[in-house]
Structure 1
């Protein structure tokens, strides 16, 4: 029995493809349910993006950060709830075209376009493993929330895949993460330790270019209006909401849920420092293997910030499938197959279990993923 689990020879490529198809079909039903709920009075996070894009498309981008205007615009859809828009002004370039659409159509279009971008980047990185890409639970969870995870995941995967051959494209993708900068917090250190100066210059040019373009297009008042959203962000993080912290996937959030702010800060700092060390040492550990180093950096990214949700995790497809790729090429280690199945499911499974169990196990899964990548990196 132990051999049956340790080697998992029964988990053949044909069965994996079959299971992926079944999961994709089930996820479509869950996605339809998410859409139905998003159209109900309780509302959805996407209202913040649509509301900001709606006023920007109407020629009033500064109203994206006006709480009174956003309440009026978002509740006009029939929602009883409304959501604060806290993303930087360059993100208005992404949401304005969708804000010009009716809300029910905009939700579908946003999910479809961002999923397509993420799938394109991920299949480009792992063409042989495309069924595991399309059915990745982490991406399908992000799709159900209609959040930013698919867009930011596409940028991170593109950056990781392109660095070896097209460093300028890789850097430009990293710079575009100015729309959600805490997901790129490790990349400057990682690129610098690898001596990837062309990518660093491209990242800086991309970030500064987007900021300058948003200033030029949306105006000084909009840039100033963004600073008013910081207070809303502080208020959200300051509230003691058990559900809020259980939906997050960081050691900070879980320690804060069970204890308080002080111990949580210690946990967050330790997690962030460990992630930073992993990103900076990834090149030495991987022997200059770009994909191995990128896998370590991306796995560490899930541990770097105190503010992260399950729907932010589609970028973990890269380290997860890199491990699958290594196993197919060099042989799987004992229990590794089953471990990778669990980690592939983890973003969805840990979110589903978080509220009933009153703990989100995703930080431990991210740590396990980093450990598996670390122990694989540099092997010859």
Structure 2
């Protein structure tokens, strides 16, 4: 059983070779997703392109007008369309792509957001660059042309920079106003560690982006955005297996099998665990900002009841942090094998969700958090920088 317990066959050269194979497979999947997105199947990116398209044409309010969006998005040849529910600051990111023809915009969006995510991740883990390039969690975000690569870049950058340039870390977190439920742990994390510069920077950037969106897109844009809450609320009321199995939270999976009350309890328990982890991570890791970043990003996957697998490229940070710890301090029994499973989890759990009838990603996120937390048991100062 040593081949599983120690997994010594996972040498550096083999891992690098496997990573290239996974990267090539991922590229093929993204190419297939592009072909589907250009046909009647459609793509999540339609919502961002449609919002950016009407805003670039001078009508930002139409980004939140469902009738207009249906017309604009189905005009691409798609049978379906998607409500735009992101806060107005997201329009700053959407406009440049909305000004492009849809087929070009899809490619440009995926390339730009993947590039930003890869840059942030490689900055954090330069030694592990093959694992960054091949990360399956980024592939699923790319195939959906969703926001996960952009938000993942902000979270990874924020976690990496907190111990060095806390104001920049806070600014990155503040920019998550474009998808705020991914930043819910950050104020708690900053406050618990006394990182007030990051805390204030996050608040200033958030307010600045909101104010700028009002100045640029008009006084009524926040009210227009508020109308999208009905669409968001309608989504949260859906109790269909096809939808809930696409979500990656304990709330969604328990709701599918046990109803609303049990789901609410599960969601509160999951979120409560995430909050407690963010508060006590500083003590657990003796003030090591990078280690607490690994805790908080792992816990972020448990914090919100509303999360999809394509939101999870940020999990590259705690996953690769654990690999660095293993390389520098030694891998524990079965840890290599466990990390391989967790590395593939964001993509694999989504691919298996419909066939299995359950999305196992919440359990993978819980295991990831537990593994990161367990690395805090060493003597102070033993967390290693890559």
Give SS of 2:62's match. Answer: helix
> After the TM superposition, which residues 285-304 of structure 1 pair with which residues of structure 2 at under 5 Å, given as runs?
285-304=284-303
How many positions carry a matched residue from both structures? 379
Query: For residue 224 of structure 1, what is the aligned residue in structure 2?
Result: 223
Q: Contact 1:354–1:360 (CA<8 Å) still a contact in 2? A: yes
Deviation at 1:378, TM superposition (A): 4.7
Deviation at 1:79, TM superposition (A): 1.0
Query: For residue 48 of structure 1, what is the aligned residue in structure 2?
Result: 47
Q: Does 1:213 align with 2:226?
A: no
Q: Contact 1:287–1:378 (CA<8 Å) still a contact in 2? A: no
> After the TM superposition, which residues 8-157 of structure 1 pair with which residues of structure 2 at under 5 Å, given as runs?
8-157=7-156
Query: For residue 173 of structure 1, what is the aligned residue in structure 2?
Result: 172
1:325-372, Cα deviation, whole Å (9 max, x unpaired)? 000001000000000000000001100000000000000000000000
Q: Does 1:162 align with 2:164?
A: no
Unaligned 5+ segments in structure 1 are: none
- Cα distance in 2 for partners of 1:185, 1:316 equals 16
Q: Does 1:326 align with 2:325?
A: yes
- Cα distance in 2 for partners of 1:349, 1:91 equals 29
Q: Does 1:363 align with 2:362?
A: yes
Query: For residue 382 of structure 2, what is the aligned residue in structure 1?
Result: none
Q: Contact 1:246–1:254 (CA<8 Å) still a contact in 2? A: yes
Q: Contact 1:289–1:378 (CA<8 Å) still a contact in 2? A: no
Deviation at 1:16, TM superposition (A): 0.3
Query: For residue 383 of structure 2, what is the aligned residue in structure 1?
Result: none
- Select between 218-227 and 81-90 the one with higher mean Cα deviation: 218-227
- Cα distance in 2 for partners of 1:66, 1:90 equals 17
Query: For residue 281 of structure 1, what is the aligned residue in structure 2?
Result: 280
Give SS of 2:49's match. Answer: helix
- Cα distance in 1 for partners of 2:315, 2:377 equals 20
Return the TM-score normalized by structure 1. 0.99
Q: Does 1:344 align with 2:343?
A: yes
- Cα distance in 2 for partners of 1:371, 1:119 equals 25
Q: Does 1:5 align with 2:4?
A: yes
- Cα distance in 1 for partners of 2:239, 2:323 equals 39
Query: For residue 305 of structure 2, what is the aligned residue in structure 1?
Result: 306
CA-atom RMSD, angstroms? 0.6
- Cα distance in 1 for partners of 2:344, 2:40 equals 30
Deviation at 1:377, TM superposition (A): 2.1
- Cα distance in 2 for partners of 1:169, 1:295 equals 17
1:111-132, Cα deviation, whole Å (9 max, x unpaired)? 0000000000000000000000
Deviation at 1:260, TM superposition (A): 0.9
- Cα distance in 1 for partners of 2:368, 2:269 equals 18
- Cα distance in 2 for partners of 1:226, 1:233 equals 11
Return the TM-score normalized by structure 2. 0.97
1:243-292, Cα deviation, whole Å (9 max, x unpaired)? 11101110000001112111100100011001100111000001111111
Query: For residue 384 of structure 2, what is the aligned residue in structure 1?
Result: none
Unaligned 5+ segments in structure 2 are: 380-386
Give SS of 2:40's match. Answer: coil
1:38-65, Cα deviation, whole Å (9 max, x unpaired)? 1111211100000000000001000000
Query: For residue 194 of structure 1, what is the aligned residue in structure 2?
Result: 193
- Cα distance in 2 for partners of 1:7, 1:81 equals 49
- Cα distance in 1 for partners of 2:378, 2:90 equals 40
Q: Contact 1:171–1:199 (CA<8 Å) still a contact in 2? A: yes
Q: Contact 1:168–1:202 (CA<8 Å) still a contact in 2? A: yes
